[in-house]
């Protein structure tokens, strides 16, 4: 920066961008937060603890946690294979990883119904043999959530793994560390921040996922009704208070994840500077 | 290759096939089963064409507006120093963390007929919610971070040396921007735009909440798919989903190409 004084041009630019963010992002978030406390905390609590609302929040949190754990394992393994192993069609496989981000969520839902639905081969087979439904049931929701969140951990871990020097591992091995020791003492600590970042992103995405879930889960209260679908139902039936209550809880969770992510980034930067 | 890594590679490839490729195959087979007539029927149905056109206009609007404001904001974030910058950086990612349904709901609260801002527009007889402006706002919200996140790192790396050289040589501010700065952040911008397009085309939750689902008027491509699915027209829903999937596939290939370009 040439000078420390702010020029009028800079001020105008700052004014325009701040107004845009204010109108598009800050004001809407403030509006819903104020709305949540419109009728007092007791009213908000009452809306959140309605059995149906509470159940939708509970199943959403549980399923989001499960897919996050699965994604940590499969995502790290995928990143590892993409960076360290050689196999045919590697470039194409690498491109496919992004497919869930490119495909609209509602299309994901339709694809899963086509594959596992009651009219499909797999759906009919499971129905007839085991009297088991994948769709309109939690396994279906799990598959949908796994699909839409798959790229997060892979894409967070992959660049770190690429930069990580093999020499460090080899040095540890030469000094007599066993492969397991190398894995837990050298590789995991290096990858951990990026794994947590990817996990947090998939968790937060799973909490709010709507498009694929609304198709795959159906809308069965106390069975498959996820929080976002519950909120949608309350909006459709003009129950603003009910929609606001559950929205507020989901927003609070997303905020917590966002703060965690920013903290990791801050910590990483300070760590690198040292 | 060691035996262990071979097994791991096999497992990972199996997982990707099962999770990502199988559903894709399921849909293609479903469309193939119902045959070409469903696809051509969709493309000649005025309601469907109108839905796809609405998605096109929403995407175009989001790309133009968010590219302009996103680039401006990137400049503010990289070049200016002011208090509360860390806070601003945190806010940018907010739309990614918010559920699309809640994003749409926030705009209803704010711009609905009884909302803080909406009541004023309502008095002027301007409709925002259940109309195009509301749907554009919702799409702008969910796609806002993309351009900023791609342009900021490029701009940071580019520095100001070349700009200063151009200024010393007598170029005006505008000349410097168009001839020096813009070409150097071009690929970052294009990558951000591609991500914006992909998200805008596929946005469903935020748009369905603010649209009111008025057929022929506020129905986008994704809403059309939902409507057909709910109407037990699964073949039609699959055909429309297939069209969107093909568009996404083209975007994905473009993304790979642009990403490799950007690294250079």
The confidence score (pLDDT) of residue A4 equals 56
Q: Is the alpha carbon torsion for A132, A134, A137, A139 positive or negative?
A: positive
Do the Cβ atoms of A224 and A52 come closer than 8 Å? no
List, in sequence order, every beta strand (DSSP E) within chain B.
none
pLDDT over 70 percentage in chain B = 98
pLDDT in tens, A101-122: 999 999 999 999 999 988 888 8
Do the Cβ atoms of B75 and B147 come closer than 8 Å? no
Mean pLDDT taken over chain A: 90
Q: Report the chain A residue with the minimal C-alpha distance to residue B240.
A: A107
Would you call B80 and A6 a contact, using CB atoms and an 8 Å cutoff? yes
Which site among B32, B64, B104, B105 would you substitute to test the A interface, given the most A Cβ atoms closer than 10 Å to its Cβ? B105
If you count residue pairs, one on A and one on B, with CB atoms under 8 Å apart, how many are there?
246
pLDDT in tens, A130-151: 888 888 889 999 999 999 999 9
Q: Lowest mean pLDDT: which of A60-64, A188-192, B83-87?
A: B83-87
| Mean pLDDT of all residues in B39-53 | 91
| Mean pLDDT of all residues in B28-32 | 90
Q: Report the chain B residue with the minimal C-alpha distance to residue A201.
A: B97
The confidence score (pLDDT) of residue A1 equals 43
The confidence score (pLDDT) of residue B152 equals 93
| Mean pLDDT of all residues in B51-80 | 95
Which tokens is A32 given? Answer: 């819903």
The confidence score (pLDDT) of residue B145 equals 95
Q: Read off φ and ψ for residue A192, nearest 5 degrees.
A: -55, -50
- What's the gap in Å between the CA of A85 and the closest CA on chain B? 7
- What's the gap in Å between the CA of A79 and the closest CA on chain B? 9
Would you call A110 and B225 a contact, using CB atoms and an 8 Å cutoff? yes
- Predicted TM-score of the model (pTM): 0.91
Question: Would an 8 Å CB–CB cutoff place B80 in contact with chain A?
Answer: yes
Q: Does the pLDDT of residue B229 top 90, yes or no?
A: yes
A106: chain B residues, CB-CB within 8 Å: 202, 204, 222, 225-226, 241
Q: Tell me the C-alpha distance between B106 and B100, whole Å.
A: 10
Would you call A99 and B24 a contact, using CB atoms and an 8 Å cutoff? yes
Residues 108-137, chain B, touching A (beta carbon < 8 A): 108-110, 115-117, 137
pLDDT in tens, A222-243: 889 999 999 999 999 989 999 9
Q: Read off φ and ψ for residue A261, nearest 5 degrees.
A: -65, -45
Choose the closest CB to B99 out of A24, A107, A207: A207
B22, B36, B71, B189, B258 from B255: Cα distances, Å: 22, 29, 19, 12, 5
Q: Does the pLDDT of residue B142 top 70, yes or no?
A: yes
Which site among A103, A213, A219, A244 would you substitute to test the B interface, given the most B Cβ atoms closer than 10 Å to its Cβ? A103
Q: Does the pLDDT of residue A3 top 50, yes or no?
A: no
Q: Does the pLDDT of residue B264 top 60, yes or no?
A: no
Q: Does the pLDDT of residue A268 top 50, yes or no?
A: yes
- What's the gap in Å between the CA of B35 and the closest CA on chain A? 15
Q: Tell me the C-alpha distance between A144 and A157, whole Å.
A: 22
Cα of first residue to Cα of last residue in chain A, in angstroms, is: 24
pLDDT in tens, B107-120: 999 998 888 888 88
Which tokens is A254 given? Answer: 């997303």
Q: Does the pLDDT of residue A245 top 90, yes or no?
A: yes
pLDDT in tens, A56-115: 999 999 999 999 999 999 999 999 999 989 999 998 999 899 999 999 999 999 999 999
Q: Read off φ and ψ for residue A88, nearest 5 degrees.
A: -65, 150
The confidence score (pLDDT) of residue B113 equals 85
- DSSP annotation of A226: -
Closest by Cα among B102, B74, B99, B79 to B89: B74
Pick the CATH number of A40-273 from 1.10.3720.10, 3.40.50.150, 3.40.30.10, 1.10.10.10: 1.10.3720.10
Would you call B202 and A106 a contact, using CB atoms and an 8 Å cutoff? yes
- Between residues B167 and B229, the one the model is more confident about: B229
Q: Tell me the C-alpha distance between A158 and A197, whole Å.
A: 12
Q: Tell me the C-alpha distance between B84 and B137, whole Å.
A: 26
Would you call B110 and A13 a contact, using CB atoms and an 8 Å cutoff? no
Confidence of residue A274 (pLDDT cuts 50, 70, 90): low
A6: chain B residues, CB-CB within 8 Å: 80, 82
Would you call B98 and A251 a contact, using CB atoms and an 8 Å cutoff? yes
Confidence of residue B263 (pLDDT cuts 50, 70, 90): low
Q: Tell me the C-alpha distance between B120 and B135, whole Å.
A: 18
pLDDT over 70 percentage in chain A = 97
pLDDT in tens, B174-201: 888 888 889 889 988 998 999 999 999 9
Choose the closest CB to A211 out of B91, B105, B204: B204
Q: Lowest mean pLDDT: which of A97-111, A157-171, B46-60?
A: A157-171
For A107, residues 6+ apart whose C-beta sits below 8 A from its C-beta are B27, B202, B222, B225, B241, B244, B245, B248
Q: Does the pLDDT of residue B71 top 50, yes or no?
A: yes
Would you call A231 and B72 a contact, using CB atoms and an 8 Å cutoff? no
Confidence of residue A2 (pLDDT cuts 50, 70, 90): very low
């Amino acid at each position: 920066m040439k000078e420390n004084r702010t020029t009028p041009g800079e001020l105008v630019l700052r004014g325009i961008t701040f107004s845009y963010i204010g109108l598009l992002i800050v004001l809407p978030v403030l509006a819903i937060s104020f709305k949540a406390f419109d009728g007092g905390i007791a009213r908000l609590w009452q809306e959140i603890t309605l059995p149906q609302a509470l159940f939708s929040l509970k199943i959403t949190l549980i399923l989001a946690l499960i897919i996050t754990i699965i994604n940590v394992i499969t995502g790290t393994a995928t990143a590892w294979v993409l960076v360290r192993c050689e196999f045919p069609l590697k470039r194409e496989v690498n491109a496919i990883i992004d497919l869930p981000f490119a495909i609209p969520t509602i299309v994901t839902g339709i694809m899963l119904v086509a594959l596992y639905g009651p009219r499909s081969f797999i759906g009919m087979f499971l129905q007839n043999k085991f009297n088991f439904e994948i769709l309109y049931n939690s396994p279906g929701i799990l598959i949908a959530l796994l699909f839409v969140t798959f790229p997060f951990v892979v894409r967070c871990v992959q660049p770190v793994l690429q930069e990580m020097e093999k020499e460090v591992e080899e040095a540890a091995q030469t000094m007599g560390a066993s492969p397991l020791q190398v894995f837990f003492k050298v590789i995991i600590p290096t990858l951990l921040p990026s794994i947590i970042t990817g996990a947090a992103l998939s968790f937060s995405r799973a909490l709010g996922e709507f498009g694929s879930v609304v198709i795959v889960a159906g809308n069965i209260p106390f069975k498959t009704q996820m929080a976002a679908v519950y909120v949608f139902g309350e909006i459709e039936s003009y129950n603003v208070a009910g929609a606001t209550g559950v929205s507020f809880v989901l927003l609070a969770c997303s905020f917590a994840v966002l703060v965690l992510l920013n903290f990791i980034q801050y910590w990483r930067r300070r760590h690198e500077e040292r | 290759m060691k035996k262990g890594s071979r097994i791991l590679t096999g497992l990972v490839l199996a997982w990707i096939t099962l999770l990502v490729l199988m559903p894709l195959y399921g849909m293609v087979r479903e469309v193939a089963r119902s045959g070409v007539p469903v696809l051509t029927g969709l493309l000649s149905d005025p309601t469907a064409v109108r839905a796809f056109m609405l998605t096109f206009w929403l995407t175009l609007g989001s790309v133009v507006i968010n590219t302009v404001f996103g680039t401006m904001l990137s400049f503010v974030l990289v070049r200016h120093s002011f208090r509360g910058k860390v806070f601003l950086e945190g806010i940018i990612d907010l739309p990614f963390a918010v559920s699309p349904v809640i994003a749409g709901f926030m705009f209803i609260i704010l711009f609905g007929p009884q909302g803080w801002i909406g009541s004023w527009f309502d008095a002027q007889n301007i409709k925002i919610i259940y109309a195009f402006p509301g749907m554009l706002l919702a799409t702008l919200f969910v796609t806002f971070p993309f351009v900023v996140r791609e342009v900021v790192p490029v701009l940071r790396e580019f520095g100001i040396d070349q700009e200063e050289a151009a200024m010393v040589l007598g170029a005006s501010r505008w000349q410097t921007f168009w001839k020096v700065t813009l070409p150097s952040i071009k690929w970052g911008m294009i990558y951000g735009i591609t991500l914006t397009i992909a998200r805008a085309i596929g946005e469903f939750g935020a748009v369905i909440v603010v649209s009111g689902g008025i057929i022929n008027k506020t129905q986008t491509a994704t809403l059309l798919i939902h409507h057909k699915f709910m109407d037990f027209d699964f073949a039609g829903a699959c055909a429309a989903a297939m069209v969107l999937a093909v568009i996404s596939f083209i975007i994905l290939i473009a993304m790979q190409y642009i990403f490799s370009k950007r690294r250079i």
